[in-house]
Chain A
Amino acid sequence: MARILIVAEHDGSDLNSSTAKCVTCAAAIDGSEIDIVVLAADASVIAAQAAELASVNRVLTIEREENDKPLAAVLAPQIASIAGDYSHVLGASSTFGKDLMPHVAALLGVNQVSDIMTVEGNHTFKRPVYAGNAIVTVEAPEGSIVVGTVRIASWQAAATGNAAPVESVTTATELPSHTRYVGLESAVSDRPDLQTAARVVAGGRALGSEEQFGLIYKLADALGAGVGASRAAVDAGYCPNDMQVGQTGKIIAPDLYIAIGISGAIQHLTGIKDAGTIVAINKDAEAPIFEVADIGLVGDLFQVLPELTEALS
Chain B
Amino acid sequence: MDKIIVGLKRVVDYNVRIQVKSDGSGVETDGVKMSINPFDEIALEEALRIRESGGASEVIAVSIGKSEAQQQLRTGLAMGADRAILVAVDGEIDPLSIAGVFKALAEKENAGLVILGKQAIDGDNSQVPQMLAALWGRPQATFASGVTINGDTARVVREVDAGLETVEVDLPAVLSVDLRLNEPRYVKLPDIMKAKKKPLDEVPLADLGVEAGPPIRELSCAAPAGRQRGVTVDDVAGLVAALKDKGLV
The answer to whether B233 and A134 touch across the interface, beta carbons within 8 angstroms, is no
Which chain A residues (250-287) contact chain B, with CB distance < 8 Å?
A: 250, 255-256, 266-267, 273, 277-279, 281
The answer to whether B231 and A296 touch across the interface, beta carbons within 8 angstroms, is yes
Q: Which of A51-59, A158-166, A209-217, A241-249 contacts B (4 or more CB under 8 A)?
A: A241-249
Chain B 210-239 near chain A by CB (<8 Å), digits 1 or 0: 000111111111111001011111111111
Which chain B residues (53-105) contact chain A, with CB distance < 8 Å?
A: 94-96, 99
Q: How far is the CB of B24 from chain A (nearest CB, A)?
A: 9
Q: Interface size (A, Cβ < 8 Å)?
A: 88
B12 CB contacts on chain A under 8 angstroms: 130
Q: Is the interface of A mostly helix, strand, loop or mixed?
A: mixed
> B248 at the A/B interface (Cβ < 8 Å)?
yes
Chain A 171-199 near chain B by CB (<8 Å), digits 1 or 0: 00000101111111111000000010001
B155 CB contacts on chain A under 8 angstroms: 182
Q: How far is the CB of A18 from chain B (nearest CB, A)?
A: 9
Which chain B residues (169-228) contact chain A, with CB distance < 8 Å?
A: 169-170, 173, 178-180, 213-224, 227
Q: Interface size (B, Cβ < 8 Å)?
A: 83
A136 to B92 Cα, complex, angstroms: 15
Chain B 126-138 near chain A by CB (<8 Å), digits 1 or 0: 1111111111011
Given contacts A114-B125, A295-B243, contact A133 B224 (CB under 8 A): yes
A104 to B133 Cα, complex, angstroms: 11
The answer to whether A103 and B216 touch across the interface, beta carbons within 8 angstroms, is no
A46 to B8 Cα, complex, angstroms: 41
The answer to whether A295 and B180 touch across the interface, beta carbons within 8 angstroms, is no
The answer to whether B166 and A134 touch across the interface, beta carbons within 8 angstroms, is no
B168 CB contacts on chain A under 8 angstroms: 179-180, 182
Given contacts A129-B122, A296-B230, contact A186 B246 (CB under 8 A): no
> A82 at the A/B interface (Cβ < 8 Å)?
no
The answer to whether A102 and B180 touch across the interface, beta carbons within 8 angstroms, is no
The answer to whether A72 and B161 touch across the interface, beta carbons within 8 angstroms, is no
Given contacts A273-B224, A296-B231, A297-B232, contact A179 B163 (CB under 8 A): no
A299 to B216 Cα, complex, angstroms: 47
A70 to B204 Cα, complex, angstroms: 38
Given contacts A111-B216, A295-B230, contact A235 B180 (CB under 8 A): yes
The answer to whether A139 and B133 touch across the interface, beta carbons within 8 angstroms, is no
Complex partner residue of A182 from B167, B216, B248, CB under 8 angstroms:
B167
A242 CB contacts on chain B under 8 angstroms: 159-163
Q: How far is the CB of A196 from chain B (nearest CB, A)?
A: 11
Q: How far is the CB of B151 from chain A (nearest CB, A)?
A: 14
Q: How far is the CB of B136 from chain A (nearest CB, A)?
A: 10
Q: How far is the CB of A126 from chain B (nearest CB, A)?
A: 9
Complex partner residue of A105 from B123, B131, B180, B236, CB under 8 angstroms:
B131
> A2 at the A/B interface (Cβ < 8 Å)?
no
A223 CB contacts on chain B under 8 angstroms: 249
A240 to B145 Cα, complex, angstroms: 12
Given contacts A184-B164, A294-B230, contact A99 B221 (CB under 8 A): no
A98 to B129 Cα, complex, angstroms: 11
Given contacts A110-B214, A130-B121, A296-B233, contact A99 B224 (CB under 8 A): no
A115 to B216 Cα, complex, angstroms: 13
Complex partner residue of A114 from B126, B158, B217, B239, CB under 8 angstroms:
B126
Most B CB within 10 A of own CB, among A111, A235, A312: A111
The answer to whether B179 and A184 touch across the interface, beta carbons within 8 angstroms, is no
> A291 at the A/B interface (Cβ < 8 Å)?
yes
A248 to B159 Cα, complex, angstroms: 10
A1 to B141 Cα, complex, angstroms: 36
A132 to B224 Cα, complex, angstroms: 7
The answer to whether A135 and B221 touch across the interface, beta carbons within 8 angstroms, is yes
Closest to A276 in B: B248
B173 CB contacts on chain A under 8 angstroms: 178
Given contacts A133-B223, A273-B224, contact A11 B130 (CB under 8 A): no
Closest to B118 in A: A248
B139 CB contacts on chain A under 8 angstroms: 73, 176, 178-179
Given contacts A102-B95, A111-B127, contact A178 B170 (CB under 8 A): yes
The answer to whether B95 and A135 touch across the interface, beta carbons within 8 angstroms, is no
Q: Which residues of A contact B (CB under 8 A)?
A: 11, 71-73, 76, 94-96, 98-107, 109-115, 124, 128-141, 144, 176, 178-187, 195, 199, 223, 231, 234-235, 240-242, 247-248, 250, 255-256, 266-267, 273, 277-279, 281, 290-299, 304, 307-308, 311-312
What are the nearest 10 A-B pairs in CB distance? A106-B134, A294-B230, A106-B131, A186-B163, A102-B130, A141-B214, A182-B166, A102-B127, A178-B170, A179-B139
Sample of 6 further A-B pairs with CB below 8 A, known A95-B159, A180-B169, A281-B239? A72-B140, A110-B213, A130-B122, A134-B223, A185-B164, A248-B178
Can you name 9 A-B residue pairings with CB atoms under 8 Å? A95-B159, A129-B122, A137-B219, A138-B216, A180-B169, A182-B167, A183-B165, A247-B121, A290-B232
